[in-house]
Structure 1
Amino acid sequence: MKRSAGLLLFRRGPHTDDGPEVLLGHMGGPFFARRDTGAWSVPKGEYEPDESAWAAARREFEEELGLPPPDGEAIDLGEVRQTGGKIVTAWAIEADLDPATITPGTFRMEWPPKSGRLQEFPELDRVAWFPLDRAREVIVKAQTAFLDRLAEHSP
């Protein structure tokens, strides 16, 4: 069974009554290029059993965004099982980040299918801050549980 781990950054909204905003990444590559709903995710990646989920979450953050993971208190958001069966573990950390500063990692795949041509695509083609309500509309469905768990921890 595949396992992924990631870090969900959050920051407080500009008004005291606003809940937190979360940083999500839009999945890169041709399958998600024209999709919005269900195409955004916690920055995350797969790891092997000999690596801890926490170490993988920090490593994948840097690989996917090209920036070191922020320091700070980590809130354990637990696990979710996505539709394809992958188990995702996530932590939330309060930090601010300018999406313009990311340098996404890349992956290679055959595209178009059966063409024999390998093309390189960004892991995340864009990153943006979302209020929780809007994030719930665009994030991979199973990952909405992370947003709910974060909201339970936010004052």
Structure 2
Amino acid sequence: MSKSAGLLMYRRAPHGCLQVLLAHPGGPYWRGKDAGAWTIPKGEYVAPEEPLAAALREWGEETGFDASPPFMPLGEVAQKSGKRVSAWAFAGDCDPGAMRCNTFEIEWPPRSGRMQSFPEIDRLAWFGLDEARQRIHAAQAAFLDRLERAL
């Protein structure tokens, strides 16, 4: 069973509404998918790496932004694939258009023999909680609920 860890940045919009920063996965499999496709910036880790250390590493690799404590634990969820995802929330602000993300390579199109590079995430966006619940991966919606209760 694989494990991932990630961070959920949140802020209060000028009108007081709570907003969260979500990531849209990059690559050809996610092109054109929206509802249920967005995620917290996260990535896999293996022991002995600590989950929060992995979340901080992945945040930097996938967004190019800094993350500042305190980090609020949001617990763990299990996705349908069996992957376990742990998350922490933190207050912050950033311009999604300034994102810098690492890339991965896959053979594309399949069985073409040609390797292509794609960003791990192709865009970031701020969403109010109601809209975020429509866009985020179903299992990860629990992180939004936990953040809302905690604040």
TM-score higher than 0.5: yes
TM-score normalised by L of structure 1? 0.95
Deviation at 1:139, TM superposition (A): 0.4
Helix, strand or coil at the partner of 1:61: helix
Report the count of equivalent residues. 151
* Identical-residue share of aligned pairs (%): 53
Helix, strand or coil at the partner of 1:38: coil
| Partner AA of 1:6 in structure 2 | G
Choose the corresponding residue for 2:38, options 28, 37, 40. 40
Choose the corresponding residue for 2:113, options 93, 113, 116. 116
CA distance in structure 2 between the aligned counterparts of 1:141 and 1:87, rounded to whole angstroms = 13
Deviation at 1:65, TM superposition (A): 1.0
CA distance in structure 1 between the aligned counterparts of 2:37 and 2:14, rounded to whole angstroms = 26
Cα distance per residue 1:81-136 (max 9 Å; x no partner) = 01100000000000001111111111111111111111100011000000000000
TM-score normalised by L of structure 2? 0.97
| Partner AA of 1:2 in structure 2 | S
Helix, strand or coil at the partner of 2:74: strand
Q: Which residue of 1 aligns with 2:83?
A: 86
CA distance in structure 2 between the aligned counterparts of 1:76 and 1:67, rounded to whole angstroms = 20
Q: Where does the alignment leave 5 or more consecutive residues of structure 1 unmatched?
A: none
Q: Which residue of 2 aligns with 1:57?
A: 55
Mapping of residues 6-155 of structure 1, within 5 Å: 6-16=6-16, 18=17, 20-68=18-66, 70-154=67-151
CA distance in structure 2 between the aligned counterparts of 1:29 and 1:42, rounded to whole angstroms = 16
Q: Where does the alignment leave 5 or more consecutive residues of structure 2 unmatched?
A: none
Deviation at 1:62, TM superposition (A): 0.5
Deviation at 1:13, TM superposition (A): 2.1
Deviates most, 121-130 or 70-79: 70-79
CA distance in structure 2 between the aligned counterparts of 1:73 and 1:55, rounded to whole angstroms = 14
Deviation at 1:37, TM superposition (A): 0.8
Q: Give the CA RMSD over aligned residues.
A: 0.8
| Partner AA of 1:42 in structure 2 | I
